[in-house]
Structure 1
Amino acid sequence: MAFAKKEIPSLKNLYKTAAIIGFVSKGIIYLVIGALSLLAALNMGGESSGTNQALLFLKRQPFGQVLLLLLGIGLLCYSFWMFLQAFRNPENISSDQKGKLRRFGLFTTGLVYVVVAFLCFYHLVTYPMDDGTNSRYLDFLGPTTLSYVFIAIGIILAIQSILLTVGVIQGGLLDQFNLEGRKGSAVIRTVGQFGFYARAFVVAIIAYFFFRAGIYTGNHDIKGIQDAFSFLEQSALGRILMALTALGFIAYGAFYVLLTRYRSFESEA
């Protein structure tokens, strides 16, 4: 299991350990979101869930404070691995335009999970005042500016959804995890494909929310994963779509947990 040749063995082990802890932590988040939403779809006592709701659920469990602390640290490890790939490039991602775009994507992913990690720490010391997500604190920008901001976010999310879908179809998205030749890689790839499709589907719905919020200036509430599941629930095939998407999120979480055993961490060079 070799990283870039210039890295000393102790650093290789540190990088790998951080990545493994990070994969498990990210997987747990999506497993909880998917499980709670699946239970809601089946009328078995769950609720449509997003990241914040998943963290609140964990907080209410026995030793919830410890769980949140460990999860926050684990997500910081995941961000560290993302930043490491973006700047140090231990696996020798190509330096062409495609490689640069991929490394920029890794950097932005790292930023996202820094925020989620600090959300874990936030819930350690506070009690939730509002389970929803609201953007009214952005109203100082003015309705016109805020509309442009929301439309821009909607465009970015729509592009992300398309790139996720194309990446799965073409195979490149899953190729980056270096599963080729590993035992059980075909099954893991199938699980990953289903999970990434579900994530792309939810991102597309959230993009629609932002477009709508940008066009109708009186509705500037930020929508997230929980609202996407609620939106599915209200559609004509609501329960079925919600259940399938929840299963996809479970698959997405399971994929990252399984990476801890199957990912090769080998240099691409």
Structure 2
Amino acid sequence: MKPGSNDKKDWIEYAARAGYSAKMVVYVLLGALAILAAFGSQSSEQLSQKGVFQEILQQPFGRILLGLVALGLVCYAFWRLVQAIKNTENVSDDAKGYIKRFFFVVTGLIYGTGALLAAKMASGTSSGGSSGNQTESMTAQLMSMEWGLWLVGLLGAIVIALALVQFKHAWKADFISKFRQGEMSRNEIDASCKAGRGGCAARGIVYLLVGIFFVQAAWTTNPQEAGGMKEVLQTLLQQPYGPWLLAAVGAGLVAYGVFCGFEAKYRRTRLN
């Protein structure tokens, strides 16, 4: 073993755990905002990543707290890239494995973008943009390209496929195999399974609707049909029994935040 290799592994593990901790904060707050919005105690306009960051800013020492969240999201983005490059999940060396590693890169870039927004808001250089406008703008730009409608439709199909993966995790609880279960009590294993199942189910619902929005935008050639997290949660609120649907999904997002907390403590982060 090369000198300093253990230090490198420790540093990467700390980054991963910081990343999962930041995700815990974001999802717990997002879920809590959704529950409050379901019963009229919070505006549904705040049901987005931007809304979570604004909520953090309003707390005592809000800029410092949001800066820490931004740093944690940077760590998570870095960890996702490490997963892709070092194959920490030991995915197969075939098309399916490469697709999974590509997904790690994409999610790393997404969380890196979130980290940049949080950092700008913490520093006061940005108040954050409207998530709905950003999604609509991105969709319009894609549609303006050659084969743009197909790209938007393909993006929607990919997101729907990710939703199915989330539902599979919720059904099988196969995520628990990535935990250091020998260090966990029986109650912790049960709690992480329940939180993970509820969280993956909620994320599956969100992904499914986001994917449908993109497919619908491509089908109707209308970028305004596309939407992100805020549009999904607002759509749920507008359905029959909407407040209860939104509250249920909000509770699932809180559960996913709790699951991220278990990941921060017990997730395996080995390097090959």
List per-residue Cα deviations over 1:115-147 (Å, max 9, x = no partner).
111111232312346464343466465398543
Identity of aligned residues (%): 25
Partner amino acid, structure 2, of 1:72: A
Map of 1:127 onto structure 2: 127
Paired position in structure 2 for 1:196 = 200
Pick closer, same or farther for the CA change 1:158–1:49 going to 2, 3 Å. Answer: same
Q: State the Cα distance separating 1:75 from its structure 2 match.
A: 0.6
Identify if the C-alpha distance between structure 1 residues 104 and 143 changes in structure 2 by more than 3 Å, giving closer, same or farther: closer
Separation (CA, whole Å) in 2 of partners of 1:105 and 1:220: 26
Q: Say which of 90, 95, 113 aligns to 1:93.
A: 90
Q: Which amino acid aligns with 2:110?
A: V
1:153 maps to which residue?
Answer: 155
Residue 170 of structure 1: how far off its partner (Å): 3.4
Letter in 1 for 2:236: L
Any conservation in 1 of the 2:149–2:221 contact (CA below 8 Å)?
yes
Gaps of 5+ in 2: none
The worse-fitting range, judged by mean Cα deviation, of 166-175 and 116-125 is: 166-175
In terms of fraction of residues, the more helix-rich structure is 2
**How far did residue 221 of structure 1 move?**
5.3
- Candidates 201, 204, 207, aligned match of 2:211: 207
Contact 2:159-2:207 at 8 Å conserved across structures: yes
TM-aligned CA distance change 1:180 to 1:194, over 3 Å:
farther
Would you say the 8 A contact 1:143–1:217 is kept in 2?
no
Cα drift, residue 108 of structure 1: 2.0
| Alignment of structure 1 residues 233-252 onto 2, 5 Å | 233-252=237-256
Equivalent residues, number: 264
Partner of residue 19, structure 2: 22
* 1:109 CA displacement: 1.7
Structure 1 segment 178-189 matched on structure 2, within 5 A: 178-179=180-181, 182-183=184-185, 184-189=188-193
Compare 172-181 and 120-129 and name the one that shifted more. 172-181
Q: Which runs of 5+ in 1 are unaligned?
A: none
Q: Which moved more, 1:119-128 or 1:49-58?
A: 119-128
1:173 Cα offset (Å)? 3.7
Residues 187 and 9 of structure 1, relative CA distance in 2, 3 Å threshold: same
Give the partner amino acid of 2:41: M
Residue 181 and residue 73 in structure 1: after superposition, are their counterparts in 2 closer, same or farther (change >3 A)? Answer: closer
CA pair 240-77 structure 1, distance change in 2 beyond 3 A: same
TM-score (norm 2): 0.85
Structure-2 separation of matches of 1:169 and 1:235:
25
**Residues 59 and 222 of structure 1, relative CA distance in 2, 3 Å threshold:** farther
Partner of 2:112: 114
Q: Give the CA RMSD over aligned residues.
A: 2.8
Please list the CA deviations of residues 51-77 of structure 1 after superposition, one character each: whole Å capped at 9, or x if unmatched.
122112222333222222211111111
Deviations 1:218-252 (A, max 9, x none): 34354111111100011112111110100000001
Q: Amino acid of the residue matched to residue 87 of structure 1?
A: I
Q: Is the 8 A contact 1:37 1:46 kept in 2?
A: no
Give the Cα–Cα distance (whole angstroms) in 2 for the partners of residues 99 and 6 of structure 1.
31
| Residue 93 (structure 1) shift | 1.2
